[in-house]
Amino acid sequence: MSVFSRPDFDNHEEVVFHHDRASGLKAIIAVHNRNLGPALGGCRMWPYESDDEAIDDVLRLSKGMTYKAAMAGLDFGGGKSVIIGDPHRDKNDALVLAMGRFIDSLNGRYHSGEDVGMTVGDMDVMRRVTPYAHGVSDGSGNPSPATAWGVFLGIKAAVKHRLDREDLDGVSVAVQGLGSVGQSLCEYLCQAGAKLTVADIDPARVRDVQQAPGAIAVGASEIHRVAADVFAPCALGAGLNDETIPELQTMIVAGSANNQLAESRHGLVLKERGILYAPDYVINAGGVIDIAAEGPDYSTAQVMKRVEGIYDTLMQVFARASVEDSMPEIVADRMAEARFMGAARQAA
């Protein structure tokens, strides 16, 4: 199947494949849309089981970045890059430098930051060979705290809309995935008085979070079945599917994972079950807001203030979805498309 025939291909501007024999790099960059500006999106390294899986992932993620940037009010388009490989076994400076040169070859059409399997240190290495690597240690740094802050505020918005509560004191939250974002989110939730149930495939991460007062740990395969007010998926995508949705015991799904719905139809399944869904690319936009602000005038305080806009945006999405008896992700899609398609019409 060609790229153009894939279900996740959606008028992408560019899909570029690259192999660097010396370092062993095998990578793909997908640029979805640049109506609002150069494409911005993280670089992910993952041991994909097949090339097809990597292609589908980069197509979905890059499209999501277009919508994320538009909803966040940024002057960037959407793109993404993936490296095929195990970051714990295959990653080294030679491979990361080769990736940096690959990004640089697009001459600024695509700007990268870190994603799953990549670190601030990797962005520092890339910056040696390209100015289009962001989130470096002497710039905005790790975007995870900003992402987590946005997700925390998004959970508050969902709780306000669904449960009519202003605070999270005593609200039960099941957090799936305890990477940098998941751990920071747990800190915010704990400070707000939420009751946590957590899970991760890495026992060490679970032990770290269990130090929070009252945090309960369950198995990674069980967390979505926990009875809780909020289910917060903060791991990889496609976790909301035909198998897991019937097992959910929650009123709200609000987390940081990208592409949480395995298929678009699963949004309707959630709605039919009475579960409020916070569209992933709206609630998890804190990181891209952080990276987009990188520069000589960068201010953490100003970034966090801007991230607070995620609360208001989600409240608008939820309110419109209620009035229209629609799914929040459909409403969010229309709002995002109005912005980046409107930019194209103005430029014509």
Cβ-contact 226, 248 below 8 angstroms:
no
Q: How many CB atoms lie within 10 A of CB 54?
A: 22
Helix (H) or strand (E) holding 276: strand 276-277
Active-site annotation holds for 271: no
Question: What Cα–Cα distance (Å) separates residue 312 from each residue in 72, 161, 266, 271?
Answer: 11, 11, 25, 21
Give CA–CA dist 283/277, Å, rounded.
10
Q: Residue 249: name the closest of 282, 289, 222 by CA.
A: 222
Spot the catalytic one: 26, 80, 156, 195.
Answer: 80
27 contact partners, CB below 8 Å, separation of at least 6: 17, 18, 19, 81, 82, 83, 84, 99, 102
Give CA–CA dist 214/186, Å, rounded.
12
Show which residues are catalytic: 80
